[in-house]
Amino acid sequence: MKVVVLLSGGLDSTVLAAQFVEGGHVVLGLSANYGQRHVRELDAAAAVSDALSIRHNIVDLRGVTAAMDPASSVLLSSTAMPHGQYSHESMAATVVPGRNLLFIAAAAAVAASRQYDAVALGAHAGDHPVYPDCRPDFLVAAAGAVERGTGVELLFPFAETDKTGIVALGARLGAPLDLTWSCYDGGDVHCGRCGTCMERAEAFSLAGIPDPTAYGV
């Protein structure tokens, strides 16, 4: 199978790409520049692609997000990133409206143009309800739309796996977890204080896998 993997450079998408490579599939990693404050993740995606020996492309979605209200998400603005364990309010601040919808549409178009069979994304069971385009009902609906619109299959194999399980799988696969990037704060190293950093550290701890991440705290 030929698969376009939506590759953010984070843990979930990296393990997803590694799983398809391990399965002998042809993989194209597709990342998006959408004006995110943590654009550093694109460097991670490129490094992961090199480590997995897969092709890597970046699509530019900044024209879409530039038309959005920057106050709609801290990821699109210079507003201070909430620190500490995630709460409903701090998670809601990181929502980029329709982000996965944009990613899926772009990936489906790329896949169809290249006659690839599928698009895959790393949405997982641990994704919070505040992110509506990570939920199973959205993914099922999106899969139907993608198939009808392009003939491409939409895959989300981690829908019943949490981040701890994904880290454990990545370790078994030998995925380059040390190259991944999670932090939303936009610095040169993981801040260790934002919700994504805390979830990352917790996932490694619960999986019993040594955390290779250098945190700034």
What is the C-alpha to C-alpha distance for residues 177 and 150, in angstroms, rounded to an integer?
Answer: 32
- Give which of 134, 4, 22 is closest to 58, Cα–Cα: 4
- Give which of 47, 58, 56, 52 is closest to 20, Cα–Cα: 52
pLDDT in the model for residue 121: 97
pLDDT in the model for residue 131: 81
Task: Pick the more confident residue, 88 or 65.
Answer: 65
Mean pLDDT for all residues in the chain: 93
Identify the helix (H) or strand (E) that includes residue 52.
Answer: helix 40-52
pLDDT per residue as tens digits for the range 10-50: 999 999 999 999 999 999 999 999 999 999 999 999 999 99
Paired tokens of 149: 């619109």
0.85 exceeded by the pTM? yes
Contact 184, 81 (CB under 8 A): yes
pLDDT per residue as tens digits for the range 101-118: 999 999 999 999 999 999
Residue recorded with tokens 């996932």: 203
Position 170 pLDDT exceeds 90: yes
What is the C-alpha to C-alpha distance for residues 166 and 19, in angstroms, rounded to an integer?
Answer: 10
pLDDT per residue as tens digits for the range 119-135: 999 998 766 677 888 88
Identify the helix (H) or strand (E) that includes residue 100.
Answer: helix 99-113
Strand partners, 153: 118
What is the C-alpha to C-alpha distance for residues 63 and 79, in angstroms, rounded to an integer?
Answer: 20
Strands 118-120 and 2-6: parallel
Confidence of residue 180 (pLDDT cuts 50, 70, 90): very high
pLDDT per residue as tens digits for the range 131-160: 888 888 999 999 999 999 999 999 999 998
Strands 2-6 and 26-33: parallel
What is the C-alpha to C-alpha distance for residues 134 and 101, in angstroms, rounded to an integer?
Answer: 9
